[in-house]
Amino acid sequence: MAKITPDDNNQPHVAVRTPAATGSVHLHGATVTGWAPPKHQPVLWTSSKSLFDGHNPIRGGVPICTPWFGAHPTDTDAPAHGLARTAAWTLDHAGLSEEETLLGLGLELPGLKFAYGVLMGHGLKLVLEITNTGDTPRRVEAALHTYLAVSDARKVTITGLEQTSYIDKVNGASVVPATGEPIAFTGETDRVYTDTDHDVVLHDPGLDRTITVSKDGGLSTIIWNPWIDKAARMADFGDDEWTGMCCIESAAVGDDAWTLEPGETRALAATIAVQSTD
Ligand code: BG6
């Protein structure tokens, strides 16, 4: 039976160990902190410097960014990426079979209710449902901020976004037209692709695998790698660790944000699949 146990830092988490997958989910932020099917290297990346203190966001896995993404639109004191990733979620139900582990987590914030389903097996499926419990329409952004482990960020490519323009956050949020080319990391990269429902595929020749990230319910994908200087500026990110990760975030942000009517529920889903290429 899936049960809550303390991790090495005494933080509550559920460790998953089944024939179909090993992994973990921390209640802090409902952060999926590990997932690997058998015979695969870890698919999710977590920084060795991440603070597991029940206060700061976990640096790695899949933090949930909501009700806003990035800086709060008006309140400069509000934390980046919303309140959910640093909140204490509850484990509301758990189910286990040979093939899959299903965890249902919940959280309530003023005017909003969240239900998060984590289905962990040979694939990883994440479904975040958000309900407006207030009595006025509410604009909501959400992102499943997925950190993927890679052999070397300088040697991977990402396909699926060639025909989509993007907002370049490294370059003053300028809008860059579709390049027609796969993405390759050659410096700090922080891009918000909007109005796209395409699957996004990470090609990693060093690990002889591809990782496919599919999304549903949101039309944004964020691609992020901090590169050298930004990694050095982050206290919870090892200086050299930027080579071992990149983020492909399934999201509904910016022009793709939702406006939830009172009582309305919408869901953002991400499915992550890993395929060997050797
Ligand atoms: C990405 C943003 O999603 O998250 C970046 O696009 C940001 O701008 C990154 O730097 C990490 O954010 P944080 O708050 O976890 O340091």
Dist. CA 83–CA 109, nearest whole Å: 8
11-37 tens-digit pLDDT: 999 999 999 999 999 999 999 999 999
Whether 1 has a pLDDT exceeding 70, the answer reads: no
Rounded to the nearest whole angstrom, what is the distance from the C-alpha of residue 177 to the centroid of ligand 1? 22
If one residue of 46, 168, 189, 224 were mutated to test the ligand 1 pocket, choosing by the most ligand atoms within 8 A of its CB, it would be: 224
In the chain, the amino acid numbered 32 is: V
Buried b (16+ CB within 10 A) or exposed e, 66-92: bbbbbebeeeeeeeebbbbbbbebebe
* CB atoms inside a 10 Å sphere around CB 17: 10
Taking the CA of residue 143 as reference, the ligand 1 atom at the shortest distance is: 3
Share of the chain above pLDDT 90, in %: 97
CA dihedral 238, 149, 44, 162 (to 10 degrees): 120
Average pLDDT over residues 94-106: 93
CA of 69 to the centre of ligand 1 (A): 9
**Domains of the chain with CATH codes:** 4-150+210-276 (2.70.98.10)
Determine the atom of ligand 1 nearest the C-alpha atom of 81: 14
